[in-house]
């Protein structure tokens, strides 16, 4: 029982010190900032959005980027894809296509007339952008 008392004591210390409250305040602040960034992106011109999406697609699909990420010991990281996925969830229409869907696909959205974005779940989550034209 001593082990559990020690764990409960540490949890109570963190709650009493305000660490837990600070953690959740930080997370809430990050969500607000992300939503504002998505709104700012949405307010760009179509040409600006299309250009950005194209650049992200090219970067993350380049052999150079993929090789570099693996050489650093990472499966290729794609934080801008996750940003665009959040944007798509809030501002784009859901997309249905039997050919692009499989048991791992969570949701798909049409970013513009050229690109689809989807999230896939397995032993983690991956967001990828697919060029359709």
Based on the fold, state whether residues 28 and 53 are members of the same structural domain.
no
Based on the fold, state whether residues 86 and 120 are members of the same structural domain.
yes
Comparing 92 with 132, the larger pLDDT belongs to 92
Give the domain extent around 53.
45-133
**Number of domains into which the chain is organized:** 2
Based on the fold, state whether residues 58 and 120 are members of the same structural domain.
yes
- The H-assigned helical ranges of 43-98 are 46-60, 63-71, 79-91
- Entry field: residues in the chain: 133
Average pLDDT value for the chain: 91
Query: What does the pLDDT look like over 80-89, one tens digit per residue?
Result: 999 999 999 9
Based on the fold, state whether residues 39 and 50 are members of the same structural domain.
no
SS3 at position 62 = coil
Based on the fold, state whether residues 5 and 19 are members of the same structural domain.
yes
**Confidence category of residue 49, pLDDT binned at 50, 70, 90:** very high
Residue 17 token pair:
């010190």
Q: Is the pLDDT of residue 8 over 80?
A: yes
């Amino acid at each position: 029982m001593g082990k559990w008392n020690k764990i409960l004591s540490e949890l109570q210390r963190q709650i009493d010190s305000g660490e837990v409250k600070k953690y959740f305040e930080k997370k809430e602040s990050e969500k607000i900032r992300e939503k504002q960034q998505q709104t700012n992106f949405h307010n760009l011109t179509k040409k600006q959005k299309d250009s950005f999406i194209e650049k992200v697609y090219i970067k993350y699909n380049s052999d150079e980027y993929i090789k570099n990420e693996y050489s650093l010991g990472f499966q290729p990281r794609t934080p801008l894809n996750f940003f665009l996925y959040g944007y798509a969830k809030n501002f784009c229409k859901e997309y249905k296509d039997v050919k692009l869907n499989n048991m791992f696909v969570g949701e798909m959205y049409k970013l513009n007339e050229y690109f689809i974005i989807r999230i896939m779940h397995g032993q983690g989550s991956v967001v990828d952008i697919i060029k359709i034209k």
